[in-house]
Chain A
Amino acid sequence: MIGRRGLAGLTSVAAALLLWFVLTTLTGLVLPGRFPAPAEFWQSLVQIATRGYAGAPLLAHAVQSLKLVLLGFAVAVATGVPLGLWMGWSRRAEAAINPVFLLIRPIPPLAWIPLAILWLGLGDAAKIMVIWFAAFVPSVINAFAGVRAIDRPMIEAARMLGTPRWRLVREVIAPAASPMIFTGLRLSLQASWTTLVAAELVGALLGIGFVLNVAQQDIYPGMILVGMVTVGLLGWATTWLLAMAEQRALAWNMAARD
């Protein structure tokens, strides 16, 4: 069933697409050198999907970008979440690590791109490093806040029952902090995409950002739009996957929320 909202949404998207067609193809109010007409968009899509553009077909570019985002995101989460949990758990760890954070955090992740290229070149390693930097911070902060928000009596009760430390972490701390941790993961994923696209625009040999870069130099609006749409779709798909994972992992909590 499509509700009133869904219907309004469909109408609105359809109207926007119609407006696009009217402005470009029908009336030519928007010059083709500025923004592609639907037909040009389609031709560009067919070209990159079959013959390839910027050295490879669309699928290869998309797989490359997806691979880097997932790798960088995984490294950031694997290091950031434990660090955040530890900082939440130990006041000493918090006191020691927080100032370092305060020093490094104001530097936007994108500002690391030139340094990453200097250190690691134009290959995958530089991109993974920058994504790691970008996605690390939200993972740490939210895991930390998640631990700090746990009711003390819950931990004390577990302690009183003589729960060993690793079980306490695995069975009490981590689950109780997991809603916040997932919030952090969502922000991390978003940051990963932004950073990857920027890094690939600055310098790469494969990937969606590279497609955008070449299309910009070729002044090829149709292909620019194809690149942007692909970035949007990939971002949407990974966000959706993460939401699914969250729903599965937090099924116990969802019931309580309703």
Chain B
Amino acid sequence: MRDTPLSFAERIGWGALGLAVLLGSWTLLTASGLVPRPFLPTPLDVLGRMIELTNAPFAGATLPQHLASSFERYAYGVLLAALIGVPLGLLMGWFRWLDDVVTPLFDGLRFIAPIAWVPFAALWFGTGMGGPVLIIFAGAFPPCLINAYRGARFVEPRLIEAARMLGTGNLRTILEILLPAATPSIVAGLRVAAGLGWQSLVGAELIVAAAGVGFMMVQAQANVATPTVMAGMVAIGIVGMLIDIALRQGEAWLRRRRGLEA
């Protein structure tokens, strides 16, 4: 805004400076003894702890095992949200009466933070698989529903009119016109849902779970094992990032394919 765009070298330089300030001040704070090490381990301590955790179990399992059980719950929760949210959104976009019935209830429930479902989730489904899955579902469901709904509502009216004129039935209109036309919006919603679901998973595991990365972090917190807590944070961050990258790739692939088809 103030100045012309930076050159590539300048970008790298400033970026390196930013990271150096962050990591440097972190390391200095601890290495200088200003902050006690059990309180704030150095970046290298955290990295070392992560490597250690790949085969030394903590809270009953190694880090990859915790990650695997977290991911399993996560996949079920997000899948369930997509399988219910997307069709319901499309139907609400097509049948006005369904929209009128569901929207007020949905709007009321939306103000309850997904994490507030934790007590009922534990009461109904226990702390193994079902409880966390319900919370992930609560986090991932709204964007699935909203984006499918908006995508279906804002379909080019001429397409629908043409289909109606040709005598296309409700089901075929939804499957062959609304669904394809709403796909970009749905995919964008799925990406948001994946992010929120991952966030809810962490919250769920901090409170109700007997395995998983969040559970590992809470155990580490109770044992004042700061490096293990931070190793968990890094692992969660990396997996979250990988999920987002995978979905972006999927989105780009879909766009390319649709581009070719058109």
Contact = CB atoms under 8 A, between A and B. Distances in A.
Given A96-B17, A111-B217, A148 B115 contact: no
For chain B, the bracket of interface size reads 35 or more
Nearest to B101: A12
Chain A binding surface SS class:
helix
Interface in B218-234: 218, 220-221, 224, 226, 229-230, 232-234
B111 A235 contact: yes
Contact of B108 (A34, A89, A194, A232): A232
Interface string A189-227: 000011001100110000001001101100101001001
A231 interface: yes
Interface in A83-126: 88-92, 95-100, 103-104, 106-115, 117-119
Interface in A218-246: 219, 221, 224, 227-229, 231-233, 235-236, 239
Pick the most buried of A4, A10, A112, A198: most chain B CB atoms within 10 A of its CB: A198
A8 interface: yes
A107 B229 CA distance: 12
A235 B113 contact: yes
B166 to A, nearest CB: 30
A229 B111 CA distance: 9
B199 interface: yes
Given A91-B1, A95-B11, A100-B22, A113 B206 contact: yes
Contacts of A118: 39, 221, 224, 226, 229
Contacts of A107: 233-234, 236-237, 240
A91 B104 CA distance: 44
B9 to A, nearest CB: 11
A5 B115 CA distance: 30
Interface string B100-128: 11111100110111111111101110000
A236 B199 contact: no
Given A96-B15, A110-B206, A209-B116, 12 more contacts: A9-B103, A12-B101, A34-B124, A91-B4, A99-B15, A99-B16, A114-B229, A148-B1, A216-B118, A219-B123, A228-B117, A231-B111
Interface of A: 4-5, 8-10, 12-13, 16, 33-35, 88-92, 95-100, 103-104, 106-115, 117-119, 147-148, 150, 152, 155, 193-194, 197-198, 201-202, 209, 212-213, 215-216, 219, 221, 224, 227-229, 231-233, 235-236, 239
Closest 7 CB pairs of A and B: A8-B100, A95-B14, A9-B104, A216-B119, A96-B18, A114-B221, A106-B237
Interface of B: 1-6, 10-11, 13-19, 21-22, 39, 97, 100-105, 108-109, 111-120, 122-124, 198-199, 202-203, 206-207, 214, 217-218, 220-221, 224, 226, 229-230, 232-234, 236-238, 240-241, 244
